[in-house]
Structure 1
């Protein structure tokens, strides 16, 4: 039961992260389309300290054992699904937005960007690309570079990219910003698990107060001064660390309630949500624009981003459940054996989308045969 509880709160943390990612995209689409008020953009900026750091930290928590595997096994059990999903859904998104106008104005129909996607992703699927590189980098550094040196270098890199470094590409900027959080999960796993599973009241209180103070300062700077200021200071790394600790404790608290069991379910099934929800957010926004002159839509405007995000997440999971056992269509969410290589041997975990093993104890999507 203790192991199950541990996994539940990790899943809960991932559930919170993917919901915030969906909300971020819903904000972008509805605000740029003129359906939701501008203040949602600033709320989006506040959550930059929490969304992707939490996602990568949760992925790194189970990476330590995974990077010990041989390269062929690592490919079969981890990297193949990440690469497959990136390539397949980049093609799907290219075709989708070539047929249907993107109401937010983002262009994903450039053939040159499509060709460069394997080395320079230019859409929201960059998380898959970054995670694959993180696993490879962590394996290459294992037993070669002291973990403290790894973390120190990653912190410097994160501060630089949060402050002013810019490669001109969303994927490479994200890699620079978030590698440190993956390494934190990988190298401080036991400490993090012990802290969250058995938090001291004093430690939890201190962390909560520290996060609240840092979060309020950040929110104040973004909402009242200049949205660019926090990025110039580079202090977002520190705020993110407070946010992660508080977020993990909140996830552990929430999954203890039967009514919140859905949150862990969402966290266990992030891949279908991650790859599908943007298409649904775009579709829902386009449909809402047909009614933009209606008074009811104006009244609903301030609440539209969370409503659109929630609907897109639910529809993504429904689509996955409908096709996951169907011939051919199931490979939208599972890597075919011809791409990954031979089936996993006895004791090998199947590929999963977020870096955890797929055994029953950790309950991730199995690789399709």
Structure 2
């Protein structure tokens, strides 16, 4: 057998494997940062809205949240789609037990908690709501979600949609989804936010699924200059569409959402390169407990303040949502870490005996542990 006299052209196997490992670590770093960024913005958005509905002055954060609206959810769903590829090829039985069961279990477990907390704290958002209202809404919740857990319902719908659309050419999938999204983002207001979210964001999930290599190549080439350009382009479109009153024209607000994805990816890449990444990578790998608990935590704390006549005047009230944001994330992460240690893993995942053979392989579990 001939043995080359010089070193291998692409380095020794150990060096090559190390390089590939670093490349793989890079690819896992920024999606985690993106998920952490997106869920943090979602928590801040809800904390701000509930604080405002209580009567506090939070106009600054409301303005910020409105601007970030075209970035946080498109980014999250695009990243979720990036890690959904394996599920579009498995048999329906494995998809049902390995992914859909996970979403259904958490939704059925936490939707009652969310609605009960709303009723007890007075934030149900339905006039004269009582236990009968709650029972009615829970009975229909699998078809008409009422709380922020619409997100889980929508993710399940996306996995089913992606599996159904396998025979359809990718350009047709993306164009059809973009048409629906452009229409829904122009102001469609159905009975359930889950229906609206499915129509608005399916294109971003499918784009993440089918255009993952494009997103990864973009992420690998991000520099500070490219990040500034991406964020500047997104902000320019977002502000123009909003200030010129064009958001209700089908397709125009979709442009701002599309621009929000590379902007969010660029920011996530830069943050992932920061030592510690502001904790976003760590949060991004643990989004589920934060997501399902944060609204209940925020409402409980606001109710506690209100019922004890603790009032935060303006302008200090502008910081109240930030405090609630930090508390909600802290409680969610704490509960997520505590649950498996006290035998309560079932709070955020179906029992292993129920999931059976549909369980995600260990090698891919980290990429799919969070919603999406």
Shorter-normalised TM range = 0.7 to 0.9
Query: What's the counterpart of residue 369 of structure 2?
Result: 364
Q: C-alpha offsets along residues 287-345 of structure 1, whole Å, 9 cap, x if unaligned?
A: 22245565x55442011112211211111111221222222x3211121134323474x
Aligned mates of 1:60, 1:126 — CA distance in 2: 17
Query: What's the counterpart of residue 188 of structure 2?
Result: 165
Aligned mates of 2:364, 2:278 — CA distance in 1: 21
Aligned residues: 346
Residues 77 and 234 (structure 1), Cα distance of their counterparts in 2 relative to 1, 3 Å cut: same
Match of 2:204 among 167, 172, 181: 181
The alpha-carbon deviation at position 72 of structure 1 amounts to: 1.8
Structure possessing the higher radius of gyration over alpha carbons: 2
Match of 1:72 among 93, 112, 135: 93
**Is residue 310 from structure 1 mapped to residue 326 from structure 2 by the alignment?**
yes
**Is residue 115 from structure 1 mapped to residue 130 from structure 2 by the alignment?**
no
**Is residue 341 from structure 1 mapped to residue 363 from structure 2 by the alignment?**
no
Q: C-alpha offsets along residues 61-87 of structure 1, whole Å, 9 cap, x if unaligned?
A: 111222111112222322211111111
Aligned mates of 1:66, 1:237 — CA distance in 2: 27
Query: What's the counterpart of residue 67 of structure 2?
Result: 46
The range that moved more, 242-251 or 296-305, is 296-305
The alpha-carbon deviation at position 37 of structure 1 amounts to: 2.9
Unaligned 5+ residue runs, structure 2?
1-21
Query: What's the counterpart of residue 258 of structure 1?
Result: 275
Q: C-alpha offsets along residues 208-246 of structure 1, whole Å, 9 cap, x if unaligned?
A: 43223213324545xxxx6xx523454221111111101
Aligned mates of 1:190, 1:206 — CA distance in 2: 21
Residues 145 and 24 (structure 1), Cα distance of their counterparts in 2 relative to 1, 3 Å cut: same
Query: What's the counterpart of residue 35 of structure 1?
Result: 56
Q: Is the 8 A contact 1:29 1:104 kept in 2?
A: no
TM-score by length of 2: 0.85
Aligned mates of 2:189, 2:242 — CA distance in 1: 23
Residues 261 and 48 (structure 1), Cα distance of their counterparts in 2 relative to 1, 3 Å cut: closer
RMSD over equivalenced CA pairs, Å: 2.5
The alpha-carbon deviation at position 23 of structure 1 amounts to: 0.8
Q: C-alpha offsets along residues 26-60 of structure 1, whole Å, 9 cap, x if unaligned?
A: 01110000123345433332222012111111100
Aligned mates of 1:166, 1:97 — CA distance in 2: 22
Residues 86 and 363 (structure 1), Cα distance of their counterparts in 2 relative to 1, 3 Å cut: closer
